[in-house]
Amino acid sequence: MIRHTVLFTGYELKKSFSNPIWPLFGILQPVLYLLMFAPLLKSLTPGGTTEDALRMFTPASMMMIAVFGSLFSGFGLISELRNGSLERYAVSPAWRPAIVLGRVAKDMVVLVCQAILVLIVAMLMGVRIGAVELVLVLLLMAATGLFASGLSQGLALTVRDENGMSQTLNLFMLPIMLLAGLFIPIAYAPDWMKFLAPINPLYHAVEAGRSLFAGRLGDASIPIAFTLFIVLAVLTTIWSMRSLRRIAG
C-alpha cells in the first residue's frame, strides 16, 4: 500500500517537473501577489507599514495557493480518464487508493516548495515569524491543500468534463475567496458578511494563519482551523478514493 503510494507520488512529481517551466509559473504567482498586492494593503492595515501589511497578507496568500493551486490539480485526472491511462492503472495490481493518493501527495510537495519560497520572499521584505509558528503555518497549509486536492480529484472523477469542472470551480471560488477575507480582512466587512464568513472553512484557516504570523500561539482560531481542516481533508480524500471506484468497480 505504502509502496504503491510512494510509487505514484514519485511518478506524478516526475511528470510535474518534466517540464519545470509550469511548476515555476505556479510558484511565481504567490510571490507576485506578495510583491504587487501587499503594498496596496498598506493603507488598510492598522500600523500602516509594509511589514504590517505583509504580516496580514502573507498567511492569506499561503492559504490562497494551498486552496487554489490544489483545486485545479483534478484536471490532470480528467485527461487521464480520457486517454485511458486511469483505466489502465485500475486494471493493474496497484492499490487503488494509491492512484489518487499519489496525486494528492504530489500536490502537497509542490505546496511546501511554494510555501517556502513565499516565506523567503516575505522574510526578505521584513516579516518575522517564530520557529514553532512557522511549522504550524506549514502544517495548516498542508491540511488546507490536502482538503482542496482531495476535493479536486473527487470533483474531477464525478464531473469528468473539463468544461463542467472549470465552471463549477469558478462558481465557488469567488465567494469563498472574498468571504475568507483573503485580500481584505473580514473585520472591514458589513455585518451580514461577518455573519456568513464563519461558514466558509477557508476563513478559519486565514484567521489562524494571521494569528500565527502575529505570534499569538494561544489564539482559539488555531485549534479551530486545525480540527476543521484535518476533518475536511480526511473527508475529501476518502471521497476522492471512492470516486475512483465509480469509474472502475
Residue 24 binds other proteins (CB under 8 A): no
7 binds other proteins (CB under 8 A): yes
Residues 6+ apart with CB under 8 A from 233: 143, 144, 146, 147, 150
Q: Which of 94, 108, 143, 179 binds other proteins (CB under 8 A)?
A: 94
Q: Does 161 bind other proteins (CB under 8 A)?
A: no
Distance CA 70, CA 65 (A): 8
For residue 4, the SS3 value is helix
CB atoms near residue 26 (< 10 Å): 17
C-alpha cell at 12: 506524478
Kindly state the smallest distance separating residue 1's Cβ from other proteins, in Å: 12
Q: For other proteins, which residue of 20, 88, 113, 231 counts as binding (CB under 8 A)? A: 88
Residues 6 or more apart whose Cβ sits within 8 Å of residue 239: 150, 151, 154
Residue from 33, 57, 68, 89 touching other proteins (CB under 8 A): that is 89
20 binds other proteins (CB under 8 A): no
2 contributes a contact to other proteins by CB under 8 A: no
The site for other proteins (CB under 8 A) is made up of: 4, 7, 11, 14-15, 18-19, 79-80, 82-94, 248-249
